[in-house]
Amino acid sequence: MNYPIRINKYLRDIGLASRREADKLVEDGLVFINNKRAKMGVLVNNGDKVVVNDSKKQYRYLAYYKPRGLATQDLPGKKSVITEWKDKGLYPVGRLDKDSEGLLLLTNDGRFAREILFQSSKYEKEYLVTVKETLRPGIIQIFKKGMETKELGKLLPAKAKILNKTKLLIILNEGKKHQIRIMLDNLSYNITSLKRVRVGNIEIGNMKSGETRLIDFNTILL
What CATH code is carried by the domain that includes residue 47? 3.10.290.10
Are 194 and 212 in the same domain? no
108 with 208, same domain: the answer is yes
Instruction: Give the residue numbers annotated as catalytic, written as ranges.
Output: 97
* 137 and 111 housed in the same domain: no
Residues 87 and 154 in one domain: no
Q: What's the average model confidence in pLDDT over 146-159?
A: 94
84 pLDDT higher than 70? yes
Can you give the CATH number for the domain in which 103 is found? 3.30.70.580
Closest CA to 213 of 1, 34, 6, 62: 62
pLDDT exceeds cutoff 80 at 164: yes
SS3 13: helix
Closest CA to 53 of 67, 37, 64: 37
User: The domain containing residue 9 runs over which residues?
Assistant: 5-52
Number of domains comprising the chain: 3
Does 112 share its domain with 152?
Answer: no
Q: What is the pLDDT of residue 22?
A: 87
Using CA atoms, how far residue 86 sits from 66, 101, 187, 198, in Å, is: 15, 20, 38, 23
Output the pLDDT for position 190: 98
- Please indicate, yes or no, whether residues 159 and 178 belong to a single structural domain of this protein: yes
The domain that holds 155 is classified in CATH as 3.30.70.1560
**Domain closes at, from 52, 74, 91:** 52
What mean pLDDT comes out for the span 155-160? 96
210 and 105 within one domain: yes
Q: Where are the alpha helices (DSSP H) in the chain?
A: 7-13, 19-27, 81-85, 110-118, 139-145, 179-186, 217-220
Instruction: Report the alpha-carbon distance of residue 2 to residue 46 in Å, rounded.
Output: 9
- What is the tens place of the pLDDT at every residue in 48-57? 988 888 656 6
Report pTM.
0.76
Residues 86 and 109 occupy one common structural domain: yes
